[in-house]
Structure 1
Amino acid sequence: MTDIDDIDRKICLLLSEDARQSLAQIGAQVGLSTSAVNERIRRLIERGVLRRFAADCDPEALGLPVAAFVWVALAAGVDEGAFRAAMAQMPTVTACHHVTGPWSYLVQIRLPGLQGVEDFLAGLKAAGWIARSETMLALSTVVEPPFRLRG
């Protein structure tokens, strides 16, 4: 675990709320100079605490109103590394979690319509990755992590 102090945590929180804040604005909130904030951010990036700066996009405004959660049980003999790599590359996949219990993975997807959900499942089946799956559609979203377009 990377050792960070309360000021580093506060900087991370401030950046996660709005990464467009100036270093001076952040410094005023944590009691540091602009150059000290810049140095701390540089070190947080080097240590892997800050992984990226990204925009939080509205999925519905981008034409992706359907959120679905797909429980996946991998088929026997599947190259799990290939499955993980494929999920990481699919723009429709917004999260993929290796889970405990009767399922192998929980995959979250965002799509323009229900046909996209069917197409996603058909792609998993055609690739021979899944033994079985169960899909749930989100009726509405109360809390969602920042959404970013993936290419």
Structure 2
Amino acid sequence: MDAIDRKILAYVQKGGRDSYAEIGAAVGLSISAVNERLKKLHTCGAIQFWSAAVDPRAVGRPILAYTQVLTAGARSDDVDAFLNAVRRNDAVLECHHVTGRWSYLLKIRTESLESLEALLSGIAAAPGVTQTHTELALSSLKETSVVPLAADGT
């Protein structure tokens, strides 16, 4: 990946609906060169997929919670069942295996406190889960999916 690829990635993260001509003008390439580079960036996995940034409040998901989950030294089947349940639940936006006291950190978006409570009850009751801790976001100063790119590509 060279400097132009990084410029393209930085640009499309913020302007993914722009035309190849607009991207090309921003990075100094022709339409066909932008097309080829985007294909290569997709093939190598640098671009995983295309999506739209959706305002959670506009679609009825105003509740933002972060839940820490502790799993016991339980059988791996139990942890796998928990992780599969997390993968299937659309309200769980992110799941990270983390260091420290907790095993996993979940980012959750729900339509109400009642639906959050039901989801958390299910998580707490999952085999292998020994404890959870949840914090609600009162407001969000910054929320982005834009990945900063190192100048040298590392």
Q: TM-score when scaled to structure 1?
A: 0.89
1:13 deviates by 1.1
Aligned to 1:87: 86
Q: Structure 1: 5+ residue runs without aligned partners?
A: 147-151
Instruction: Choose 78-87 or 123-132, whichever is displaced more.
Output: 78-87
CA distance in 2: counterparts of 1:91 and 1:125, whole angstroms: 17
1:28-49 deviation per Cα after TM superposition (whole angstroms, max 9, x unaligned): 0111100000000000011000
**Counterpart position of 1:9:** 6
Aligned residues: 143
* Paired position in structure 1 for 2:75: 77
Partner residue in 2 for 1:36: 33
CA–CA separation in structure 2 for the residues paired with 1:127 and 1:84: 10
Structure 2, unaligned runs of 5 or more: 146-154
Equivalent residue number for residue 111 of structure 1: 110
SS of structure 2 residue aligned to 1:131? strand
| Cα separation, 2, equivalents of 1:108 and 1:31 | 38
Following TM superposition, the consecutive aligned residue runs of length 4 or more in structure 1 with deviations greater than 3 angstroms are none
Larger displacement relative to structure 2 (125-134 or 87-96): 125-134
Q: Secondary structure at the match of 1:107?
A: strand
String of CA shifts for 1:75-125, please: whole Å, max 9, x gaps.
322533333332222100111111000100000100111112211111113
Amino acid at match of 2:7: K
Shift of 1:143: 1.2
RMSD of aligned Cα (Å): 1.3
- The separation in 1 between residues aligned to 2:67 and 2:6, in whole angstroms, is 33
User: Cα gap change, 1:129/1:18 in structure 2, threshold over 3 Å: closer, same or farther?
Assistant: farther
Q: Hey, what's the Cα distance between the residues in 2 that align with 1:134 and 1:66?
A: 16
